[in-house]
Amino acid sequence: MEPIPPNLDYPTVTDPTDALSAVPAAGSRRAVPVIGHLRFYYGPMDCGKSTLALQVDHNHARQGRKGLLLVHLDRSGKPQISSRIGITRTAIEVHAGIDLRDLVRERWAAGSRVDYLIVDEAQFLTPQQVDQLAELADDVQVDVYCFGIATDFRSELFPGSRRLFELADELEPVQVDVLCWCGLPARFNARVVDGAVMRAGDTVLVADTTDTERALSESARATTVRYQVLCRRHFRLGDLGPNVAAKGQLSLA
């Protein structure tokens, strides 16, 4: 077979259904603006999300980058990112009314740069706040690392997590295995009240914090509320295993 001449022109075939766009040639890619990335690391309770968040912050800070740590409803009840293995860092508490872009603008106004954001408990963000994070990544080159739970106690996506699945550049399940009582991988966060798996109730109910427990009413404290990670089968069945009152599960009372 004869080699194809290098200067041979091929006819351009136009496909009206083609969704791909032309990309810049290698020599002209410097003209394309640099953008930040929006990443979402997700997994069930106890899989190490907060530990990973603090490790990412540590690595970036060691390399001279400047970042902000954000959190909403940390298990400690305080404005901080706390890992179950004992590592804790102070963070900015962000409630639903905060515009995350304003936090970055305030740092700029104070003469500080912001290279990255670490957002823990990202499932509690509003969809609008996730949009703001995407804007920061695209328009001002801030790298955004979000960490959170994908689904609530009903096995339905949190609104913030849903928007992150829709917008994030990268979706990364946290690789630390969490096991159901039966030994199978667990990814469902069951809310347990008085030994029974709940299927309805408020989406947000933070556990594993003495501050939260003190804030509960006397009637609420009379009811034991905790979370337990289960495999899909046992989540469906509401089967908490032979040792229902196992120590080490997250508890409000």
Q: Give the active site residues.
A: 121
Q: What is the DSSP string of the chain?
A: -PPPPTT---PPPP-TT--PPP---GGGGGGSPP---EEEEE--TTSSHHHHHHHHHHHHHHTT--EEEEESS-TTSSSEEE-TTS-EEE-EE--TT--HHHHHHHHHHTT----EEEEESGGGS-HHHHHHHHHHHHHH--EEEEEE-SB-TTS-B-HHHHHHHHH-SEEEE--S--B-TTSSB--EEEEEETTEE--SS-S----S-HHHHHHS-HHHHTS-EEEEEE-HHHHHHT---S-TT-TTSEE--
**In the numeric block, which tokens belong to residue 164?**
């992150």
